[in-house]
Amino acid sequence: MQKYSDYELEQKSVRYRIALLKYIKRANAGHTGGDLSCTDILNVLYNEVLNVSPGNFSDPNRDRYIQSKGHSVEALYVVLADKGFFPERDLETMCRYKSPYVGHPTRKVRGIEFNTGALGHGLSISTGIALAGKKDQLPYRVFTLLGDGELAEGSNWEAAMLAAHYKLDNLVAILDHNTLQITGRNSEVCNPYPIEEKWKAFGWNVVHTDGHNFAELRKVLNETPTVPGKPNFVIAHTVKGKGVSFMEDIKKWHHRVPADEEFEQAINELKVQLNENY
């Protein structure tokens, strides 16, 4: 069931982007480009798809979200704060001495299921959770978010083979496909293409979506499983640095913290899109 209009989600994303930039600037650390590329995906997941809330976080029937690309944690933190898992002002301590809000997800932060950050872990973990759901005949679904550079990690392909073997159609892996990694274009670092054919060959149902189109994301993520017995691979076409003109599709913004003037310009660009009525 649709909870928010596309416009309401768009407004949420603007606020998330402003917040995550603010906390990255304050912490003087963060993975700016990847945060901005997956913000809309996380927005749709937590506001339209996952049956996860602070009230049901220990319910065995809750959906699970495992962020395999753990470095985009700032986007996850602001979305979790918006969902009421913790007060957003807690993020003022991000990356500070003794803060639980470190630069990759940890279970010390309410709302986080697994400590991730080393790449190539989320899909195996999610496969285990999805397998338990099948064994216990529980209705939950398991979502994991992978980076496209992360596809070079061999453990992903071990999990891909197993998830198809066990017909885990309750598993949804979303690829944040912004085509950039820290060194440059995926195709120049270690060519991951053809991505669709690889996952199909491993026995997965593969769909494409615009990773910044709320209607498409809502439809695709809510519709799974679309093919009984097949795990789902959603290639979300995104733009690294999305929402800030001078950051979009530029590799240096992988983990660059904006300088003062850059920060001001970025916030101003985003604030122009804000409608105070939402």
Partner 1 sequence: MKITDKLIKGKANLEIYSETLIELGLSDKDVLAVTSDSRGSGKLVPFAEKLPEQIVEIGIAEQNLVGVAAGLASTGKKVFATSPGCFLATRSLEQIKNDVAYSNYPVTLVGISSGVSYGALGSTHHSIHDVAVLRAIHNLTIVVPADNFEAREAVKAAAAFDKPVYLKFGKKNMPHLHSGDEVFEIGKAFTIVDGSDVAFIACGETVAPAFEAAQKLHENGISVRVVSMHTLKPLDTDAILKAARECKAIVTVEEHSISGGLGEACASTILEAGLFLPFKRVGIPDEETVAGSQVEIFEHYGITGEGLCNTALKLLNLS
Q: How far is the CB of 106 from partner 1 (least distance, A)?
A: 8
Of 102 and 189, the one with the shorter C-beta distance to partner 1 is 102
CA distance 155 to 229: 22
Task: With beta carbons less than 8 A apart as the criterion, state whether 12 and 38 touch.
Answer: no
Of 194 and 229, the one with the shorter C-beta distance to partner 1 is 229
Of 58 and 277, the one with the shorter C-beta distance to partner 1 is 58
- Cα 4 to Cα 25, 43, 49, 145, 231: the distances in Å are 30, 11, 11, 22, 27
- Residues binding partner 1 (CB under 8 A): 60, 106-107, 113-118, 120-121, 123-133, 135-136, 154-155, 158-159, 161-162, 165
Q: How far is the CB of 77 from partner 1 (least distance, A)?
A: 18
* 183's tokens: 């060194």
Q: How far is the CB of 75 from partner 1 (least distance, A)?
A: 20
Q: How far is the CB of 229 from partner 1 (least distance, A)?
A: 18
Task: Classify residue 152 by burial, with Cβ atoms within 10 Å: 0-12, 13-18, 19+.
Answer: middle
Residue 248 carries which side chain, given as an amino acid letter?
Answer: E
Of 142 and 235, the one with the shorter C-beta distance to partner 1 is 142
CA distance 147 to 145: 7
Instruction: Return the residue matching tokens 């309750």.
Output: 170
Q: How far is the CB of 131 from partner 1 (least distance, A)?
A: 6
Task: With beta carbons less than 8 A apart as the criterion, state whether 195 and 208 touch.
Answer: no
Of 39 and 124, the one with the shorter C-beta distance to partner 1 is 124
